[in-house]
Amino acid sequence: GTGDLMHLPVSRKLLPELTPENIYGYAPVLGQQVLREAWKTHLLQDNPSLCQKTFSLPIVTSGMTHGFSLLTELFLDSGDTLVFADQIWGNYRLIFQTKAGADIQTYPFFNTESGFNTHRFHQTLAESTDEKLLVLLNFPHNPTGYAVTHTEAQQIVDAIVARAETGCRILVMVDDAYAGLWYDATVIHESIFGLLLGCHPNVVPVKIDGATKEEYAWGLRVAFLTFGLDAAAMQPLEQKLSGLIRANTSGASQVSQTLILKAMQAPGYAAQKQRNYETLKARALKVKAVASDERYTRYWDVYPSHAGYFMCLRLKSGNAETVRQRLLAEHGIGIIALGETALRIAYSCLDASDIEKVFADIAGVIEKR
């Protein structure tokens, strides 16, 4: 027989409980089979709408960015129209526009009642004349932390179906980076992916999610692609994806996949995830309360936020980038400036005890201007 997998004990001793194969061996191109099955079970548990519906076994990618990148290679030809909101994760433009050459059509994320702008979303789809369309949805939303109500989610699905009825083939990319992190009873506590499944023959939803944020494992670079397609449609697609992955990364890190899987299988897993969720929820509620305090209303509005990792301020005066730089230089506080007027605060790395001070410092910087 063949011996143990060759390796260097100096690094293996750092992972005393894992076998060399689980650390150093090649993972299958589409990911560890058991991890893919565990992720499917996780999706079914957390998304009631998936029950009895047809969707693929999740495919492992080297982080969510890799998932989006593979989708552009599979489905996006230069010049194709891609619809997303005006408020987005900055990397979307790099991945889809700069790199893949998509023609980006945006709609305003919020309506005048500070809800999701289903009217303008519908209109943007209806006004497109393409025979093929790509749509990118993201709730919990980066950067604002907005999540949709059940009514809004159904209106989004209806708008997509209405466009599909005209003969347009639509790929809907559902960016679920922050899935599970819902803090407000008024919004739906599952992915819109489930509502899109089977909504129309011309609509193919694909869920991009991951261990990245949802499992608190940013640097492990493990995410998943799950397609709303049956086995017959998935077979050639898996082959195509397999070829693409073999030509660009040859698969995701084995030890990273093992760490995710071992965590999911551990007895304490659910309780630990719940504890992190409670921590984030407490921060989210406190951030919202503090940022919305009336002493700050002359400085900013708070964008609606019920989910995810972030909240956003819309400054009433002052330049966001200037505020960001001075906050970093004078107070050592790092936040993100978005455009001229918006500031994004991540509570994933903000202790509850620091929240009061952070907003007081932001106000102080604006005041001093």
Residue closer to a second copy by CB (options 312, 350) is 350
Adjacency order of strands within the sheet including 81-85: 59-61, 223-227, 203-210, 169-175, 132-137, 81-85, 103-107
Nearest-approach distance from CB 179 to a second copy, in angstroms:
16
170 binds a second copy (CB under 8 A): no
Q: Does 123 bind a second copy (CB under 8 A)?
A: no
Smallest separation (angstroms) from a second copy to the CB of 141:
19
Residues 199-218: x/- map of binding to a second copy (CB under 8 A)? ----------------xxxx
Q: Does 23 bind a second copy (CB under 8 A)?
A: yes
Binding of a second copy by 79 (CB under 8 A): no
Select from 219, 232, 294, 295 the one that contacts a second copy (CB under 8 A): 219
Among 132, 273, 286, 331, binds a second copy (CB under 8 A): 273
Picking from 60, 351, 24, 15, the residue whose alpha carbon sits closest to that of residue 226 is 60
Answer for which of 47, 69, 128, 138 binds a second copy (CB under 8 A) is 69
Q: Which member of 165, 239, 269, 298 binds a second copy (CB under 8 A)?
A: 269
Q: Does 75 bind a second copy (CB under 8 A)?
A: no
Identity of the amino acid at 29 = V
Residue of 272, 306, 289, 274 lying closest to 352 (CA atoms)? 289
C-alpha 343/C-alpha 228 separation (Å) is 35
- Phi, psi of 244, rounded to the nearest 5 degrees: -65, -45
DSSP-H helix ranges across the chain: 9-12, 20-24, 33-46, 64-75, 91-92, 118-127, 150-165, 193-196, 211-214, 231-248, 254-265, 269-291, 320-331, 355-368
Report the C-alpha gap between 141 and 237 in whole angstroms. Answer: 28
- Candidates 16-24, 126-134, 145-153, 291-299; binding stretch for a second copy (CB under 8 A): 16-24
Please choose, out of 233-241, 265-273, 299-307, 317-325, the segment that lies near a second copy by the rule CB under 8 A: 265-273
What residues contact 103, with CB distance under 8 A and at least 6 apart? Answer: 79, 80, 81, 82
Range in contact with a second copy (rule: CB under 8 A) among 114-122, 146-154, 224-232, 250-258: 250-258
236 binds a second copy (CB under 8 A): no
Structure tokens at 20: 């060399």
- Binding status of residue 325 toward a second copy by CB under 8 A: no
Q: Is 78 in the site for a second copy (CB under 8 A)?
A: no
DSSP 207-247: EEEEHHHHTT-GGG--EEEEES--HHHHHHHHHHHHHHHHH
- Contacting residues toward a second copy, per CB under 8 A: 1-3, 5-11, 14-18, 23-27, 62-63, 65-66, 69, 91, 94-95, 98-99, 215-221, 243-244, 246-256, 259-260, 262-263, 266, 268-269, 272-273, 276, 279-280, 348-351, 354
